[in-house]
Structure 1
Amino acid sequence: MAFVPPQAGYDRAITVFSPDGRLFQVNYAREAVKRGATAVGVKWKDGVVLAVEKRITSKLIEPSSYEKIFLIDDHIAAAPSGIIADARVLVDRARLEAQIYRLTYGEPVPLTVLVKKICDLKQAHTQYGGVRPFGAALLMAGVNEKPELFETDPSGAYFEWKAVAIGSGRNTAMAIFEEHYRDDIGKDDAIKLAILALAKTLEEPTAEGIEVAYITMDEKRWKKLPREELEKYLNEILQEVKEEEVEEKQEDYSELDQNY
């Protein structure tokens, strides 16, 4: 008779809690997000920026065809991490809900309403048999009366942030936000901070491997950051990082000299 681990029953059943109160399949869905490409968002007084890692696995792939920031409505966009096929289902549902709201009420859907609807769907997939949790987290950002930035969890929980990251580089990016984010940050600094946080999570950051989009209160329409501007921001950031590394080395050597 094969050995069956004690937690096997709770492991296989989506709707059964383990004795310590966990839903293992939800935990596994979160692990899929932790292994996914990094996505970051930064909010400033008059807008929001999203930046996403594009993992291009073959030189034969056309980078321009590999989108990682999805437009939900003119004023709302989403950046996923985890299983992208799952994320696309959530994005399609969000687009449908946004259009239903617009046709029903004659105005754009508030981001908070849309986030709640998507998270209700995510939560339902942790509660019923015959389905599994979505192995994807979304950063959902946009403007209505003010700029807003939300993180949605595979469990159906959601949180509003000033700056946030999801994916494999979350810890590194969040440490950078903790150090550099300030409440009076402006547009250029917010875009630069988002690219910096994302670049720090990558071994060899390039413009082809990063996608950036932003929205402002004035225009209320998402725009992709042009390739030329992205390269300019990235070159400035990489140069600043190199200068910081040189300064740190000089400090290390000066401390070494004092020991002799």
Structure 2
Amino acid sequence: MNGLGATAVGIKVKDGVVLAAEKRMSYGGFIMSKAIRKVFKIGNRMGMACAGLYADMQTISRILENQVRYYEISMKKEMKVRSAARFLGVLLYSNKMFPLLTETVFGGYDKEGAHIYVLDPVGSVVEERYSAAGTGAPLAIALIEKNYREDMSLEEAEQLAIDSIKVATSRDSLSGDGIDVLVIPVGGEPKTKFVPLS
């Protein structure tokens, strides 16, 4: 997926989860759009940040959103973050012969606390404290590795996510044009914001 270009990150702390991604859509050596949304809210407690083909990102976010909603209405209880991540893994695996070309950082909170899961295009599901995906991932993860602490505040985690994507966009020509951020506090409402690249 090296030609598809993107940088997406997720960071988990005690108080919640931060997901972020830049807004450039490129293919080959061309910039196709500077205003693509790669961060998706799933219900009121979960979200995902993606790198890869935009149509595939949209497809899996819509299917997952509908599945979570259906489960919670029919079962009358909240879906666990792990269950949602595993459903997404099954969805990706079931298309392995014609894969949905997306790397996904999925996160949220439930009764067990905050969670971050990383999924590849064929459905592997791995729980992490933080992760990065896309062509800018090596640059972003280097900054996160250096500065991450388990006792960080949610605000510090948000700033670290923003800084890591800024570092990636400064060196990865396939990433850029601003940052979408989704902050999901444990027990609170998710908040989205746009951060311009200065």
Task: State the TM bucket, normalised to the shorter chain.
Answer: 0.7 to 0.9
User: C-alpha distance in 1, partners of 2:126/2:157?
Assistant: 20
TM-score (norm: length of structure 1) = 0.67
Q: In the aligned structure 2, how far is the partner of 1:204 from the partner of 1:37? A: 12
Q: How far off its partner does 1:204 sit? A: 8.3
Give 1:36 deviation, angstroms.
Answer: 2.7
C-alpha distance in 1 between matches for 2:91 and 2:187:
32
Find the counterpart in structure 2 of residue 222 from structure 1. Answer: 190
Counterpart of 1:171? 138
The verdict on how the C-alpha distance between 1:56 and 1:90 changes in structure 2, with shifts beyond 3 A counting, is: closer
- Quick check: 1:68 aligned with 2:38? yes
2:11 to 30, 42, 49: 42
* 2:92 pairs with one of 112, 122, 133: 122
Gaps of 5+ in 2: none
Shift of residue 82, structure 1, vs aligned partner: 0.5
Equivalent in the alignment of 1:52: 21
Mark the CA change 1:107 to 1:34 in structure 2 (over 3 Å): closer, same or farther. Answer: farther
Matches within 5 A, 1:103-118: 103-118=73-88
Partner amino acid for 2:186?
M
Q: Report the more deviating stretch, 38-47 or 101-110.
A: 101-110
| 8 Å CA contact retained: 1:56, 1:209 | no
State the alpha-carbon separation in 2 of the partners of residues 181 and 34 from structure 1: 29
Larger-gyration structure (1/2): 1
Is the 2:24–2:177 contact (alpha carbons within 8 Å) kept by the matching residues of 1?
Answer: no
Deviations 1:28-66 (Å, cap 9, x if unpaired)?
xxxx2674310011111111111101006799x784xx4
SS at match of 2:42: strand
CA distance in 1, matches of 2:24, 2:34: 12
Which stretches in structure 1 are left out of the alignment for 5+ residues? Answer: 1-31, 236-260
1:33 to 1:107, Cα distance in 2 relative to 1, 3 A? farther
Distance 1:43 1:175 in 2: 16
- In the alignment of these two chains, the number of paired residues is 192
- CA 1:43/1:97 → structure 2, altered by over 3 Å: closer, same or farther? same
Paired residues of 2:182 and 2:192 also in contact (CA < 8 A): yes
Counterpart Cα distance in 1 of 2:59 and 2:42: 12
- Provide the secondary structure at the position in 2 that maps to 1:202: helix
Q: Report what 1:92 is aligned to.
A: 62
Q: Which protein has the bigger strand share?
A: 2
| Residues 151 and 161 in structure 1, CA contact (< 8 A), matched pair in contact too | yes
Q: Which amino acid aligns with 2:164?
A: A
The structure with the largest helix share of the pair is 1
- Deviation sequence 1:182-225 (CA, Å, 0-9, x none): 111111211111111111011289x9511111011131x21113
Residue 244 (structure 1) aligns with: none
Is 1:194 aligned with 2:161?
Answer: yes
The alpha carbon displacement at 1:118 in A equals: 1.2
Offset of residue 143 of structure 1: 0.9
TM-score w.r.t. the length of structure 2 is 0.86
Task: Determine helix, strand or coil for the equivalent of 1:142.
Answer: strand
